[in-house]
Amino acid sequence: MLELPRKIICEASHVAVLTGAGISAESGIPTFRGGGGLWRQYRVEEIATPEAFRRDPRLVWEWYESRRESIARAQPNAGHRALAELARRTKVTLITQNIDGLHARAGSPEVIEFHGNIWRLRCTQCCDARLDERVPLPELPPACSCGAWLRPDIVLFGETIPPDASYAAFGAARSCDAFLVVGTSAVVYPAAALPGAAMERGTPVIEVNLEPTDLSDRTLFLQGQASKLLPELLC
């Protein structure tokens, strides 16, 4: 089952990788649409929006504070480490939808954070942005020195992807000679369009997931845990 995907990865000169919440599930961080996908009575698409933040910044901050607390307890797993090792062996463009920072902590040298990073805060008024890894934060919502609210430096639903991240990610998807998609339900766009951008050029797409997704009829689908399968793909 793994011979062909391993051969593709080993012979590739540039591997683009897209990861989602599934790669961090084994680090104890709940995914969005799996069993633990609900938070209180909200769906992520309802609470992770700029309108929700404007309407009730404290409620949205409580959701992200709970995420910061679970992420602070998490450690990178063998799946994250395998991708960091792959980057030591060949050219890798690692694109993640995750905001947990675990790829960088696992040693991946460059990470395109397609949806931002939960440890960075940015001001809703002035251009102030900073890392703040305190858990818990002293006050919710945190305030900027200019008096406005600070928000997580992440992409909420209805917001655009940072242009430099989008440009680099689609550029890699269109120029790589192997595409690896790991632990994503492939329902959130534009991230979910990245594998298709590789497929359009005839690039092989290898998919690692516990269960099939909308991509799986067009990918080399490997069913299983990322922490078990990714180390197997290294040569």
Distance in angstroms (rounded) separating the CA atoms of residues 16 and 6: 14
Is residue 155 a contact residue for ligand BV8 (CB under 6 A)? yes
Q: How far is CA 38 from the centre of its chain?
A: 18
Task: Please measure the distance between the N-terminal and C-terminal CA atoms of the chain and give it in whole angstroms.
Answer: 15
Question: Shortest approach of ligand BV8 to residue 47 CB, angstroms?
Answer: 9
Residue 103 designated active-site? no
| Residues forming beta bridges with residue 179, ordered by sequence position | 16, 205
The reply to whether 14 sits near ligand BV8 by the rule CB under 6 A is no
Q: Which of 210, 216, 232, 234 binds ligand BV8 (CB under 6 A)?
A: 210
- Whether the CB-CB separation of 226 and 208 falls below 8 Å is answered with yes
Among 18, 29, 81, 98, binds ligand BV8 (CB under 6 A): 98
Q: In what order do the strands lie in the sheet with 205-209?
A: 111-113, 91-96, 14-19, 178-182, 205-209, 220-223
Provide the token pair at 141.
Answer: 């919502």
Q: Binding partner of residue 97 among Zn ion, ligand BV8, none, CB under 5 to 8 Å per kind?
A: ligand BV8
Q: How near is the Cβ of 128 to Zn ion at its closest, in Å?
A: 5
Of 14, 80, 103, 115, which residue is the catalytic one? Answer: 115
Q: What are phi and psi of 14, to 5 degrees?
A: -150, 110
Q: Which residue is nearest to ligand BV8 (CB)?
A: 22
Binds ligand BV8 (CB under 6 A): choice among 15, 16, 99, 215: 99
- How far, CA to CA in Å, does 130 sit from each of 21, 88, 235? 24, 29, 39
Which residues in 124-163 contact Zn ion (CB under 5 A)? 125-126, 128, 144, 146, 148
- Output the smallest distance, CB 38 to ligand BV8, in A: 11
Q: Does 48 bind ligand BV8 (CB under 6 A)?
A: yes
Which residues are identified as catalytic?
115
